A and B are shown apart, each in its own frame.
Chain A
Amino acid sequence: MAAHDMARFALKTRSSMEHLFILITMGDLLGVPILPPYYSLRLLPYVVPQVATWKRRMLREKDLTDAIY
């Protein structure tokens, strides 16, 4: 239980990198076209498992009180 914080932090770090990666590659899904679609499509199969969660996290309203813990 004491290490729970650390585990969460490690996961947060990984997820923020993942977000960035998917945003760059699959930005089209949210209307942010960055890569030409050709490359996006080539990468799509690898990203499919994360897309649903990623979209939800990106589109969820954030509030300052989220940051407290």
Chain B
Amino acid sequence: MNSALALILSLAAGLFTYYVYARYVDQRIIQADPRKATPARLYMDGVDFMPTSRHVLFGYQFKSIAALGPVTGPIIAMQWGWLPAFLWVIFGTMLIGWVQDYTSVMIGVRNEGQTFGALSYRLISPRGRITLLAFIFFYLILIVAAFGKIVGDMMAAVPSVPVAIVALVIVGLGAGYLIYRKHADILYTTLGMVVLALLAIWLGTSLPVKASPVAWVLFALAFSYAGAVLPIWLYGQPINYISFYLVFLGMIGAGIGVLVGHPSFTIPAFTQWTIPLGSIWPLLFVTVACGAISGWHSLVSSSGSARQLEKEIDARYVGAGSMISEMVLAVLSIIIAAATFASFAGYKEALGKGPAFIFATGMSGLLSFLGISPEFGKAFAGAMYVILAITVMQLVLRVARLSTTELLGDYVPVMRNMYVTAALVAIICWALIATGTWQYIWTLFGGSNQLMAALALMLVSIWLKQSGRNWHFTFWPMLFMFITTVVALLMTGIKLFKAPALLLAGKIKPPAGQTVAVAVGGNYISGVIAFLLVLAALVLVVDGLRVFFTSRPAAAGAQAGQTASTAD
């Protein structure tokens, strides 16, 4: 398969989905009405509820949802061959992915901008909300652990990256200071800072910094801790702002590189049904996380975009459009993994150094078609990868800190102190990274992510049924995602509980750099998390299905799911 053809096919599939299926759902089922007042217009307060141009909102949504998931998942899934991952990315997005993102926006828009916590409380039960919060808490911890581990491996594997990342922090702080404190011109500041960041990446190629993965994981966690406790204008936001341009440049560069160089795939279309990670069903569907469907998107859609949508008809552009763009990003990473190495053996060997290493190598290959030197390309790709991870990590740690305070603050007074809660969450993540086995952590993250998606689809299905609309297009995908993910998590959990005995008997070796005792502890911790996730999801789904099957469409004219406004 030629990589340019793969890219063009995915673009065609995306356009078809957007203009045919998404348009049908938007116009016929949801019946988006440009004249209906959206929460942004109804409750405009200039803060959360703020009508925003659909183009700005599209960029905002895409920036918020595109992280490491669509890049890393497909790279790992190449072990089954490129075809299964390619098909799942395309069809997963076409049938489930965009549906979840778009309906998550619309459920918020039609319910006065309520977010999932409030919606699960109202549509399912008070217990539903608490379970959802607990579920989200574990889910967030897994995101930080999975991403943190990747960052550690990446910075150890590509020594030209660390200087760029440290420089990016300094550049970001500088940008924040200039824009917020000195009121400098935003355009010139941005230009200057992006150029500085690129210079820093170039500088990194001649200033390699070597350290162990463990040290870099600690660095990433310290970075995220600062993001979680410092004022957001000073640290998190300007760094994310400058990062956006670097990631954007990288994506455009990779896309043009594929079209110019159009390398052919070197790994087989299909290898075998079962790889060391597990069998293709259900494991492929949780390994390829955000490229096909992701629960994180539903949280962003319902909390952020739903409250800023100017017109209902913008939801398709913002929700479905950004998900389809992310599908293209996932296809780019499939191309990177499938067309970079001389053979499948070469890919397997590179995978030993971590998926991040594959990304950096492949991306520099694509950029070299544009005449960019491989050293700079590798450093740039490495920096882009770390940025994708680290910007999400700090955001997630911030939210995890808030949810810890929310869940425990009333019972344990010390949990109201943000420095303590952020440190506690960071320590839990560290424990997972230090003791866990990487591929299982990734599977747990993927599993929790897809479960979150299933829960979002279930909320939407209940809302659709109660408002007398066709619910089939969300209900059946929800059932598929739920069964697949629960089976995947249970299989992983059982594996994790079986591993200690094998480790102690010496039948399997602990991961490099770990003692047997640490690996045993790590397996138990990860196993317990897997079962807790399944338990929380089961409680929610059982409650949800009970409501779903007992709910009747509301009388015509009375829009179900509309609550009395608290205003005045």
Q: Which residues of A contact B (CB under 8 A)?
A: 1-6, 8-15, 52-53, 55-57, 59-61, 63-69
Assembly CA distance A57 to B64 (angstroms): 25
18 contacts between A and B (CB under 8 A): A2-B63, A5-B237, A10-B233, A11-B47, A52-B567, A52-B568, A53-B43, A53-B45, A53-B46, A63-B117, A63-B129, A65-B116, A65-B299, A67-B303, A67-B399, A68-B115, A68-B303, A69-B303
Given contacts A65-B117, A68-B303, contact A1 B64 (CB under 8 A): no
Given contacts A64-B403, A66-B115, contact A9 B237 (CB under 8 A): yes
Q: Which residues of B contact A (CB under 8 A)?
A: 43-48, 50, 52, 55-60, 63-64, 114-118, 121, 129, 132-133, 136, 179, 186, 190, 232-233, 237-238, 240-241, 244-245, 299-300, 302-304, 399, 402-403, 406, 566-568
A21 to nearest B CB, angstroms? 15
B47–A12 touching, CB < 8 Å:
yes
A69–B241 touching, CB < 8 Å:
no
Task: Determine which of A8, A13, A64 lies in contact with B402 in the assembled complex, contact meaning CB atoms within 8 Å.
Answer: A64
Q: Which residue of A lies closest to B403 (CB)?
A: A64
B52–A3 touching, CB < 8 Å:
no
Give chain A residues whose Cβ lies under 8 Å from the Cβ of B399. 67-68
Give chain A residues whose Cβ lies under 8 Å from the Cβ of B567. 52, 55-56, 59
Q: Which residue of A lies closest to B59 (CB)?
A: A1
A15–B46 touching, CB < 8 Å:
yes
Give chain B residues whose Cβ lies under 8 Å from the Cβ of A66. 48, 115, 117, 303
Task: Determine which of A5, A12, A65 lies in contact with B118 in the assembled complex, contact meaning CB atoms within 8 Å.
Answer: A65
Give chain B residues whose Cβ lies under 8 Å from the Cβ of A6. 179, 233, 237-238, 241
Assembly CA distance A60 to B118 (angstroms): 11
Give chain A residues whose Cβ lies under 8 Å from the Cβ of B60. 1, 4-5
Assembly CA distance A68 to B406 (angstroms): 13
Assembly CA distance A65 to B57 (angstroms): 19
Assembly CA distance A69 to B299 (angstroms): 8
Assembly CA distance A52 to B399 (angstroms): 29
A24 to nearest B CB, angstroms? 19
Give chain B residues whose Cβ lies under 8 Å from the Cβ of A53. 43-46
| Extra A-B contacts (8), CB below 8 Å, given A1-B63, A6-B233, A63-B118 | A1-B59, A2-B244, A9-B237, A10-B233, A65-B302, A65-B303, A66-B303, A68-B399
Give chain A residues whose Cβ lies under 8 Å from the Cβ of B303. 65-69
B184 to nearest A CB, angstroms? 13
Q: Which residue of A lies closest to B299 (CB)?
A: A68
B115–A63 touching, CB < 8 Å:
yes
Q: Which residue of A lies closest to B405 (CB)?
A: A64
Assembly CA distance A61 to B113 (angstroms): 11
A65–B56 touching, CB < 8 Å:
no
Task: Determine which of B57, B190, B240, B300 lies in contact with A68 in the assembled complex, contact meaning CB atoms within 8 Å.
Answer: B300
Task: Determine which of A2, A61, A69 lies in contact with B59 in the assembled complex, contact meaning CB atoms within 8 Å.
Answer: A2
Give chain A residues whose Cβ lies under 8 Å from the Cβ of B48. 66
Give chain B residues whose Cβ lies under 8 Å from the Cβ of A59. 566-567
B237–A61 touching, CB < 8 Å:
no
Give chain A residues whose Cβ lies under 8 Å from the Cβ of B115. 63, 65-66, 68
Closest 7 CB pairs of A and B: A1-B59, A69-B304, A63-B117, A65-B117, A65-B115, A2-B244, A63-B118
A15–B300 touching, CB < 8 Å:
no
Assembly CA distance A53 to B58 (angstroms): 26
Assembly CA distance A23 to B133 (angstroms): 30
Assembly CA distance A10 to B181 (angstroms): 12
Give chain B residues whose Cβ lies under 8 Å from the Cβ of A57. 45, 47
Interface hub of A6, A10, A67, A68 (most chain B Cβ within 10 A) = A68
Give chain A residues whose Cβ lies under 8 Å from the Cβ of B232. 9
Give chain A residues whose Cβ lies under 8 Å from the Cβ of B57. 1, 4
Assembly CA distance A66 to B179 (angstroms): 27
Assembly CA distance A42 to B15 (angstroms): 59
B63–A61 touching, CB < 8 Å:
no
B190 to nearest A CB, angstroms? 8
Give chain A residues whose Cβ lies under 8 Å from the Cβ of B241. 2-3, 5-6
Give chain B residues whose Cβ lies under 8 Å from the Cβ of A69. 64, 299-300, 303-304
Give chain B residues whose Cβ lies under 8 Å from the Cβ of A55. 567-568
Assembly CA distance A2 to B179 (angstroms): 14
B308 to nearest A CB, angstroms? 8
A16 to nearest B CB, angstroms? 8
Give chain A residues whose Cβ lies under 8 Å from the Cβ of B44. 53
Q: Which residue of A lies closest to B62 (CB)?
A: A1
A60–B566 touching, CB < 8 Å:
yes
Interface hub of A10, A53, A55 (most chain B Cβ within 10 A) = A53
Assembly CA distance A69 to B136 (angstroms): 14
Give chain B residues whose Cβ lies under 8 Å from the Cβ of A65. 115-118, 132-133, 136, 299, 302-303
